[in-house]
Amino acid sequence: MTVDEFIQALAEQGIELTEQQLTQFEDYYRLLVEWNQKINLTAITDKEEVYLKHFYDSLMMLWLNPLDNYQIKLCDVGSGAGFPSIPLKIVKPELDVTIIDSLNKRINFLNLLVAELGLTGVQAIHARAEEAGQDPLYRAQFDVTTARAVAPLNVLCEFCLPLTKKGGYFLAMKGQKANQEVAEAQKAITTLGAKIEGQKDAQLPGEESDRSIVIIKKTLDTPNKYPRKAGKPLKQPII
């Protein structure tokens, strides 16, 4: 996806990018490639692939499940190089974004990225999701939590739902195995105080690979025992 194709594809979804936003995406790409030589941020560095598989992919959430509330506090778990939260923040600067990642080198990159792009209302936290979910500063504090390509859905639920406030949403970004993961995560979703509200499916343009946003609503307080200690959700997922 060339930059022009990126602009056109977003315009077809009703998103008109300003010159400032286009410059931010260009600077984002430059910094991503530059820092990727120092630390492992992504296997994708070709410009057209980054614009398609990172930038456009991250923004699909805006038309599959619009973030229309002006005061949304969004938490991105396991963001890595900032996906999907930084592209979302560029297009919707009113979002209040918290990024949680377990690798301090990635947090250093994100802090530099936020400064270089001139973004405000973004904080990057060096922590494991299991620790953040038990911290009163972050537990049940977010209107929306999201995660992309981090772990199976039943594990992601234990990472993300404790951070989500009651009445809020966990938006899980998934690929072609979304239906299978949803079926396997039913017990985890119920146990953690939530329910499936819907699933929006689409395809990445050009290559027609499947994408899904699984929409999970937090309806009850998550039991205090969750999330369990670091490492346990992955080793012994709720099934």
Q: How far is CA 2 from the centre of its chain?
A: 23
> Residue 114: phi, psi to the nearest 5?
-60, -45
Nearest to 126 by CA among 138, 115, 136, 116: 138
CA–CA distance from 99 to each of 163, 201, 202, 207, 208 (Å)? 12, 25, 25, 29, 29
Name the residue ranges covered by the structural domains of the chain.
Answer: 3-235
User: d(Cα 153, Cα 215) in Å, to the nearest integer?
Assistant: 12
Task: Report, as an integer, the average pLDDT of 12-21.
Answer: 96
Length of the chain: 239
**Cα 223 from Cα 98, distance rounded (Å):** 23
Residue 53: phi, psi to the nearest 5? -85, -15
Q: How high is the pLDDT of residue 70?
A: 63
Q: Is 106 annotated as a binding residue?
A: no
**Binding residue per annotation — 34?**
no
pLDDT(69) > 80? no
Please state, for a pLDDT cut of 90, what percent of the chain lies above it: 85
- On average, the pLDDT of the chain sits at 94
Q: For the segment 163-215, what is each residue's pLDDT rounded down to a tens digit? A: 999 999 999 999 888 899 999 999 999 999 999 999 999 989 887 788 999 99
| Rounded-to-integer distance, Cα 69 and Cα 75, Å | 15
Average pLDDT over residues 11-36: 96
Q: How many beta carbons lie within 10 A of that of residue 70, not counting itself? A: 9
Pick 111 or 42 by higher pLDDT. Answer: 111
Task: Give the closest residue to 57 by CA, choosing from 230, 171, 204.
Answer: 204
Whole-number pLDDT of residue 58: 95
CA distances from 183 to 154, 196, 228 (A): 9, 10, 22
pLDDT average, residue stretch 77-88: 94
* pLDDT tens track for 143-176: 999 998 778 999 999 999 999 999 999 999 998 8
What pLDDT does residue 153 have? 95
> Which residues make Cβ contacts (< 8 Å) with residue 23, sequence separation at least 6?
none
* 83 in a labelled binding site: yes
The CATH H-level superfamily of 3-235 is Vaccinia Virus protein VP39 (3.40.50.150)
